[in-house]
Structure 1
Amino acid sequence: MRRPVLRTAGLVLAAALVTGGGAAVAATAPDDDGAAAAGSAATTSSSRAKSLRVATYNLSLNRNADGQLVSDLSTGANTQAQVVAEVIQHARPDVVLLNEFDFDAAGRAADLFRENYLEVAQGDARAIEYPYAFVAPSNTGIPSGFDLNNNGVVSGGDDALGFGVFPGQYGMLVLSRYPIDTRHARTFQNFLWQDMPGALLPQDPATGLPWYTDEELAVLPLSSKSHWDVPVRVGRETVHVLAAHPTPPTFDGAEDRNGRRNHDEIRFWADYVSGGRTASYVYDDKGRRGGLGRGESFVIVGDYNADPADGDSYDKAIDQLLEHRRIQDPAATSAGAAEAAALQAGANTTHTGDPALDTADFADTAPGNLRVDYTLLSRDLRVRDASVFWPASGEPLSRLTGVYPFPSSDHRLVSVDVRF
């Protein structure tokens, strides 16, 4: 299939990187009206589709310098990219969110990853094509101009709007085999943390005063990367892919600024899918207010850096989604996760959660392996299957996950098959 050339609103994207301002959409379909013609084969198959496989994968393709990911993907020879591409080819999701995929305004990394890796058979897997993509700026690495960590110096990733050493590090990418309704996509890069009613803004434990000044709160967004509502058209159905990657609830102090931000980044989706008055405070980067309408189908995907039972997240952070009346949890498991927890022992022996649910291999003594990657569904969708790509050590594909240092990522791909 001939894939349309990725199109970006380049000037808007470039301005967003400098100012932290409004994110723009990039998609492989030339525009909303032309999507069917541009991706005709995908559209034809979607008209008959009754099921959909959606996945999330933190593939750790982040790099330490701006432009390095584009350079690494410019040929098909990058070993890590080959391995994570093979994982995706074996899992074969119809729609996948990729976390820790560095953003570039021209969309080159997204194109190169598809052309040089996904569309080339890796190992014993078959090539896979994603005619549609969605990318937008990330808050990571954008300088705030303030001393957000209160160490007396304004510099470094800790003082960025979201942790990162350059704009777009640890970004996101959505790939789809079905058309993306770019006209109705929403991004929330600029929504301010202080504009969430009842926000868990931190206090300085030494003084009891607010950790952030009024001037800092006037520029500090809620999203450490961004929150995206990406509508995907599957035949006559539309599924809203709600993508995010909240900050880890660690790397801070007693004020727990990252843990509290992680909690509220998760809460954002809980309020958004509640809709109505609960979501009336929400505004997107184009100024549109409110959340999802009643009856809209959605899938919440991403690395949420929060385990329901273990780890360092703020109390009941992920429970805001897991126990939500509109959300169902497929509770995907794997044999490899349970095996890894038993073999590694250490902090895993103190965990109270089911190790078979783990999605990340944090083999150090703390925090141990955790469930942090999620595919959660609206209750109108029927779950056919759910899985975590974590083969047990005796299985052939375990070479793709391995042990530290990992050949792919310390996170595992999590997928769910839904039926309309």
Structure 2
Amino acid sequence: MRDIVKGEDAQIRAVGQVINHVAPDILLLTDIDFDAGLSAVAAFSDTLAQPYPHLYAALPNAGQQLGLDLNGDGYTGDARDALGYGRFLGDGGMAVLSRYPIMREDVVDLSGILWRDVLGSILPEVDGAPFPNTAIFDDLPVSSTGHWMVPIDIDGTRMTLLAFDATPPVFDGAEDFNGLRNRDEARLWQAVLEGHFGPAPTYPVLIGNANADPFDGEGFHDAITALLTHPALQTTNPRSAGAAEAATAAHAGPPELDTADWPEDGPGNLRVSYVLPAADLHVVDQGVFWPAPSDPLAALLDETGPHRIVWVDVALPQ
């Protein structure tokens, strides 16, 4: 809130300029800190060329402490012991900003669903024993940040965002705690689409940072591939000239589809963020804001961080 109000933070300013350029009607922000009055997201919205009249956010799992020792180091209370990595309550949440009314009373927050209850879940083990222990999974949700079903009223038609921000499948040990959790965060949406947590939503649009690439990088590729090919959704292929020119040589996936620009001596560039509309919506246009280096707009990316905004234009059947 302090940095937004002061207006001097280079990253906040750059992110706002990118949003102004893309001008989405509905926007999901990830890794934005949560406050109960939504003061920070409202203040950020007010810095944009066209502020968003409808906002939604809920307390993320990130930063919530339950006195658990999630990383098995014998201590509790640090960032890795929260329900999702977080240094304080509300650290790194999500927010939906919309020009269309958000049906707040109908939002379904699935962030409390236990990891062990996800269909097909695989829990981490060391030497055949649950890691760090069996009792942890009596309380640990699969969501590291949140899984929200957010219905939006599009001129009388209900469209439902399936919004999430998954844990990176790294920063763990041989038990692959984060890798397995990342896979099951995607699997939760597969279960929702197949009616395992109530009726399947109307006109679902999967949106968020899955932190998973179908071809490259750490973690499992099967869960995000299952969502990309799910019959309830349609595969989109938003691309950019900037990603195509910044291809990571050793990677197998199409470089033009990448959405994050990480160092070559690290993960390299990956496709981790997605907008996957319902199969019965018509995709009009799509892209990733990642201009080629020769494009003057590329200067906007100097301060935004590694992630690029993914956008998809859709038309309702009627």
| TM-score of the aligned structures, taking structure 1 as reference length | 0.73
Matched, 1:156 2:78: yes
Alpha-carbon separation, structure 2, partners of 1:263 and 1:198? 10
Question: Any gaps of 5 or more consecutive residues in structure 1?
Answer: 1-69, 119-126, 283-289, 342-347
Give 2:162's match in structure 1, choosing from 242, 247, 256: 242
Contact persistence 1:271–1:291 (CA under 8 A): no
Deviations 1:53-108 (A, max 9, x none): xxxxxxxxxxxxxxxxx111123332221110110010010001000111111211
Match of 2:280 in 1: 380
Q: What letter corresponds to residue 11 of structure 2 in structure 1?
A: Q
Amino acid at match of 1:259: G
Counterpart position of 1:56: none
Residue in structure 1 matching 2:29, options 82, 98, 111: 98
Does structure 1 conserve the Cα–Cα contact (< 8 Å) formed by 2:213 and 2:270?
A: yes
2:236 aligned to 319, 327, 330, which one? 330
Match of 2:215 among 295, 309, 331: 309
Matched, 1:298 2:218: no
Mean Cα deviation higher: 246-255 or 315-324: 315-324
Q: 1:213 Cα deviation (Å)? A: 2.5
The answer as to whether partners of 1:73 and 1:112 remain within 8 angstroms in 2 is yes
Which of 274, 296, 304 is the matching residue for 1:408? 304
Report Cα offsets for 1:371-395 as digits up to 9, x if no partner: 0000001110001100000000111
| Residue 192 (structure 1) aligns with | 114
Q: How much does 1:318 deviate?
A: 0.7
Task: For 1:128 and 1:364, locate their aligned partners in 2 and report how far apart those are by CA, in whole Å.
Answer: 36
On the 8 A contact 1:191/1:221 being kept in 2, the answer is yes
Report the counterpart of residue 88 of structure 1 in structure 2: 19
Equivalent residues of 1:192, 1:220 under 8 A apart? yes
Report deviation, 1:229: 0.6
Matched, 1:399 2:295: no
Deviations 1:380-416 (A, max 9, x none): 00011000000001111100113xxxx1121000000
Matches within 5 A, 1:120-135: 127-135=49-57
Q: Deviations over 1:288-338 (max 9, x none)?
A: xx1424xx1011110100000000121412112011111111110000001
Cα distance in structure 1, aligned partners of 2:267 and 2:51: 37
Specify the alignment match of 2:191 in structure 1. 271
Give the whole-Å Cα distance in 2 for the aligned partners of 1:210 and 1:308: 27
Q: In structure 2, what is the equivalent of residue 21 of structure 1?
A: none
Tell me if structure 1 keeps the 8 A contact 2:215–2:221: no
C-alpha displacement at 1:259, in angstroms? 0.7
Return the match for 2:133 from 188, 207, 213.
213
How far apart, in 1, do the equivalents of 2:64 and 2:119 lie? 25
Match of 2:290 in 1: 390
Give the alignment partner of residue 113 of structure 1, picking from 44, 47, 60: 44
Looking at structure 1, the residues matched to 82 and 272 of structure 2 have their Cα atoms a distance apart, in angstroms, of 24
**Alpha-carbon distance in structure 2 between the residues aligned to 1:177 and 1:155:** 39
- Structure 2 unpaired stretches of 5+: none
**TM-superposition CA deviations, 1:172-208 (whole Å, max 9, x none):** 000000001111111112111112233111111xx21
TM-score by length of 2: 0.96
Whichever residue aligns with residue 172 of structure 1, its letter is: M
Distance, in Å, in 2 between the alignment partners of 1:135 and 1:180 is 11
Residue 172 (structure 1) aligned with residue 94 (structure 2) = yes
Shift of 1:216: 1.2
Structure 1 residue 153, shift from structure 2 partner: 2.0
State the SS of the aligned residue for 1:179: coil
Task: Name the Cα RMSD after superposition.
Answer: 1.2
Q: Secondary structure at the match of 2:222?
A: coil
- Separation (CA, whole Å) in 2 of partners of 1:212 and 1:239: 40
Q: Which amino acid aligns with 2:9?
A: N
What is the one-letter code of the residue matched to 1:102? D
Q: Secondary structure at the match of 1:233?
A: strand
Does residue 146 (structure 1) correspond to residue 68 (structure 2)? The answer is yes
Displacement of 1:156: 1.2
CA distance in 1, matches of 2:194, 2:221: 21
Q: Distance in 1 between matches of 2:100 and 2:77?
A: 42
Identity %: 44
Distance (Å, rounded) in 1 between the aligned partners of 2:13 and 2:68: 39
Quick one: distance in 2 between partners of 1:239 and 1:211? 39
Partner residue, 2:313 = 417
Number of equivalent positions? 316
